[in-house]
Structures are given as structure tokens and as C-alpha cells.
Amino acid sequence: MSLVFVSLGVLVLMLVVIFLANIKKEFELVNAAARKNYSYQLADELRESSDDLTLMARSYVVTGNDKYQRFFNRILAIRNGEAPRPKDYSDFYWDLLTEPEESGDVELEEKASFESLMVKAGFTLNEFALLKRSQSESNELVRLENVAMHAMKGEFDDGTGTFQIKKAPDQALAIQIMYSPEYQAAKARIMEPIKNFNRLVQQRNVAFVQKLEVELEYRMLLGLVLALTLLVVLAIGYFSLLRLVLRPVKLLSMGVEQLEKGEYMEVGNACGVAELKKLIEIFNHTEVTLRQREKEKEAAIADLREKGLALEREKGRTEKLLLNVLPIAIVDRLQRGEKVEAETFPEVTVLFADIVGFTQMSLELGPHSVANLLNEVFEIFDILAEKYRLEKIKTIGDCYMAVAGVPDRSPTHAQQMADFAIEALELLKAQNVRLSRNVEIRIGMHCGTVAAGIIGRKKFAYDLWGDVVNITSRLEGTAVPMKIHVSESVHSRLEESYLFEERGEVELKNRGKLRTYFLIGKKTKKE
């Protein structure tokens, strides 16, 4: 009898599991279709954004109307996640928008770069690589479009990626660029990866759907077999119950009635009292065992929870230590399992600063006092570095090295570093007055191209390489105390907004004579 009930329970459970599994697979089919549509939507959005950029750039170079350039910049900002996306950002959005003022009435969503949308879509590596390549080709096309639009304003590339050369506006050149064979070939290179991406998505989706359909058919067949088996077991259970339970109970009832009448009837062992007593004993024993195991489980869960909290605390300490060694962007890439290789940054500003007379100061004050002094000065630098979004590279003795534009490629790297240096001098002067001392520093700044990456495998560090680093070090070594010694490249980038004092030509080791300047401060509006 027990076997019958166990069989019924197992069959019912298996049917429920199959039913839930089928629901899950049907849900996966719906999700697969949704992911496929979303994948096509992303690919089409990338294609459409490239076409919209072409339309706006061509409209600008033909008409000279600034609204098309604003539309162009806004399309780029939305795609890069720098501006919020309109709620109904469809294929027709830029076809319906006629004036820039209309965008103020559009309901906006959160900022989301196209790359973050690709990651969220859960593409395979090959699919992701194809869309990424198409995006890269589109970004290369943006470079040509920017060249054309700057030509309309009489601004031309100075060789560093910025448009510092000023000439007469050249609309003919702008139109020639936008309709050149080179431009058309670049457009074609954008479409090829998108075509291959759609093919891969279609293949993956077809294979996934076919697999799910086979599994559903198998489960349906298995469910049918189980249902028939359940009917057979129910029939067996009914007749077993009738013979083993209902008939003995009926005989026992008849015996009780006979006893009430004063008559006797032999019932035999049909009542099964001993079996019921044994069942109660087994139940009680099981209840005690389960109660003890529940207490053990609760203790184990509490222990695991405590260990989990300890692990979280240790993880937090580890991440904090890692962030003190490497830039946050590099740490994020490492935690995602990405390989971090050295990169070239064409536009950065490097700063070196050291304390004047540090060697003699070390002899006079002693190690403990010198360490406290360095902590006080470098704490100022660290706070300002975070404020102006700089990356502290390292400290060597009394020398402090920082960079702007790495690893985040910032177009305002020179301004960020200039503001950092100016405020650092002001705070150090204020600290000297407050503590009645005269600690002086030398500062050197230079702009240019560097390579940056992680060096070492165990005690690793993030560092910079390049001629810019060497020149900056020499500018700092030849600086005047409590002044900011900068190169001509820094001066050319900041002369419109900052005050400078020309120092003249300075002899730098292994570099000859270079024209240098002292950065004094920011210009006021009247200046």
C-alpha cells in the first residue's frame, strides 16, 4: 500500500516538474524572440545613428546652418552616453525634429552609451566584436565629418587631433570630404559588420529555438506517458485501499457492533493496532531528529552568514587597496577579467612637483618629522587630484607625479592640471602661514603623448612612459620655487584663459634650449 502512495506522489511530482519546465522553456522562447528583436534594434540603431550623422554633417556643410552641427553633436552625445536618450528614440526621431528648441519638450530617459546597451543585450563575443567594429568604423567616419565641419569654420587639424590652425572657411573642401569616395568607402565599412552581426544573431536564435522545441516535444511525450501511468497506479491504489484498509475497518466496525449486542466476532489481525503504534513511534523519533537537525541547520546558517560577512569585509578591504594602487577604470576592467595592456594617449598633461631643499630638511628634522611633513603636503595634492579628476601615478621621496587625460581621455586635461597646480600653491602658502613655516615646492608641467599601462606581476603599478615624462621632469628640476614652470605646449593650450609670465629660453638636459613660461593664474572676465 505504501508503495502505491509513493508511486502516486512521484508521478504527480514528475508531472508538476515537467509542467513547470515547459512553462520555463516557453518563457525562454519568448525571451529569445525578444532578445533577437532587441539585437536587431541595436544594430539598426547603430546604422541609423551613422546615417543621421551623415545627414546632419552634409546638411551643415551645404547650408552652413549651425543647428545641424548641434544635432550632429547631440546624436554623438546620446550614442556615447553623455546625454540622456529621448523616450521615443526611433528611426524617425531626427526626421521629425526640425528645430533645436523642440527637444526641450521631449521626455528623456537615463543616459546610456551604445556600448553599455550592447553589454546589456548579452551578445556572444563574435557578435559583440562585430558591432564594436562597426561602432569603431562609425567613430572613424565621425573624424572625417568633424574635419569637414571645422573646415566650414576655418579650423584645421594641427596634427594633434585638435583644430588649432585658423584659416579662411573652406566650404568646397568640406563638401568634397562629405561626398568623397573615401567617405563612401568608410560608410560601407560600417554596414559590413552589421550585416554579419544580423546573420550570426539569426543563426544563434534558430539553433536555440530548435533545441527548445525538441526539448518541449520530449517533455510532452514524457508527460503523456506519466499521465497514463498515473491512471494505472490510481486504479491499483483504489483496489489496494479497498482490500487492505476499508475491508478491515468494516470488519472491525462489525465486531464493535457485535460487542455492543453482547455477541462476539473474531476479527483477527485486521485492525493492525501494532502497526499504527509502531508508526507513531517512528513519527515521534523522526520529529525529534528533524528538530535537532533544524537547530544544527540554523547554527550552520548563522556560521555561514558570519563567514560571508567576514568575506565581504575582506573583499572590501582588498578592493580599497586595489583602488589605491590602480585607477578605478583599470580596476573595473581587471575585475571583469579583461586583459589590460599598455595604451597610447595622444593628449595628456603631466605634472611633477617636489619639495625645495628636501635633503637638508631631512637631515635637520629627522625621519619621523619628515614623514609627517610629506604626508601633510601630499594629502593636499591627493585631495586636489580627486577634485580635478587627475590620476596620481606615484611618489618618489619628495617628488609627486600626476597626469590628466589618463586613463579617461579628457579634452580639458590641460585646464584640469593648471587648476590643480594653482590651487596647490595657494593651499601650501596658507598652510605655511597657519603653521609658521616656509615649505616651498617646484612644479613642472608639459603636454603631449604618452603610453600608460600596468608594470609588474606581483607588486604591480600603473605608470607612464614617453618623452613627455622626461621633459616634465626637467621642467620641474629647472623651476623656480613656488612657481609653475610650463612648456610652450601648455602655454598654447591655455593662453586664452590663463595668465602667463614668459621666462625665456631654458637649457634642459639632453633637450637643448626650450622656451618656457610661468603659469600665474586664471584670467578674469575683464581680462
478 to each of 354, 508, 514, how far by Cα in Å? 11, 8, 12
pLDDT: is 164 or 423 the higher one? 423
Cα–Cα dist 233/226, whole Å: 10
pLDDT > 70 in the chain, percent: 73
Number of Cβ within 10 Å of residue 477's Cβ equals 15
Q: At what angle do helices 273-325 and 328-335 cross, to 10 degrees?
A: 140
- Whole-number pLDDT of residue 332: 63
- Whole-number pLDDT of residue 522: 92
- Work out the mean pLDDT of the chain and round it to a whole number: 79
The confidence band for 333, taking pLDDT boundaries of 50, 70 and 90, is: low
- Mean per-residue pLDDT for 418-430? 95
Residues 6+ apart with CB under 8 A from 323: 331
Which range has highest mean pLDDT (139-143, 360-364, 436-440)? 436-440
Fold (CATH) for 22-215: Four Helix Bundle (Hemerythrin (Met), subunit A) (1.20.120)
pLDDT: is 155 or 495 the higher one? 495
- Mean per-residue pLDDT for 327-351? 75
- pLDDT tens digits, residue range 112-160? 776 677 667 667 778 778 777 877 888 888 888 888 888 888 888 877 7
Checking if the pLDDT of 458 tops 80, the result is no
DSSP E strands in 67-225: the ranges are 84-86, 108-111, 155-156, 165-166
Checking if the pLDDT of 393 tops 80, the result is yes
Checking if the pLDDT of 111 tops 90, the result is no
Single-letter amino acid, residue 278: K
Checking if the pLDDT of 444 tops 90, the result is yes
Do residues 74 and 106 touch, judged by C-beta distance below 8 A?
no
Q: For the whole model, what pTM was predicted?
A: 0.42
Checking if the pLDDT of 100 tops 60, the result is no
Residues 6+ apart with CB under 8 A from 523: 496, 497, 498, 499
Which range has highest mean pLDDT (10-19, 214-223, 227-236, 375-384)? 375-384
Do residues 408 and 389 touch, judged by C-beta distance below 8 A?
yes
The confidence band for 424, taking pLDDT boundaries of 50, 70 and 90, is: very high
- Mean per-residue pLDDT for 514-525? 91
- Whole-number pLDDT of residue 328: 65
CATH superfamily of 342-522: Nucleotide cyclase, GGDEF domain (3.30.70.1230)
Cα–Cα dist 29/105, whole Å: 38
Beta strands 498-508 and 512-522, pairing class = antiparallel
- Whole-number pLDDT of residue 267: 58
pLDDT: is 511 or 249 the higher one? 511
pLDDT: is 495 or 359 the higher one? 495
Checking if the pLDDT of 22 tops 50, the result is yes
- Mean per-residue pLDDT for 345-357? 94
Q: In the chain, what is the straight-line distance between the N-terminal and C-terminal CA atoms, in Å?
A: 101
Do residues 387 and 438 touch, judged by C-beta distance below 8 A?
no
- Mean per-residue pLDDT for 359-376? 84
- Whole-number pLDDT of residue 246: 67
Cα–Cα dist 388/444, whole Å: 17
- Mean per-residue pLDDT for 42-47? 72
For residue 263, give the C-alpha cell: 455477541
Which range has highest mean pLDDT (14-28, 81-95, 121-135, 345-359)? 345-359
Cα–Cα nearest to 326, from 253, 387, 417, 406: 406
Checking if the pLDDT of 2 tops 70, the result is no
Among 185-199, 425-439, 506-520, name the one with the lowest average pLDDT: 185-199
- Whole-number pLDDT of residue 470: 93
- pLDDT tens digits, residue range 245-298? 666 666 667 766 665 665 655 555 555 445 544 545 564 556 567 677 777 888
Cα–Cα dist 474/486, whole Å: 11
In eight-state DSSP terms, residue 204 is: H
- Whole-number pLDDT of residue 103: 47
Which range has highest mean pLDDT (55-64, 234-243, 410-419, 448-457)? 410-419
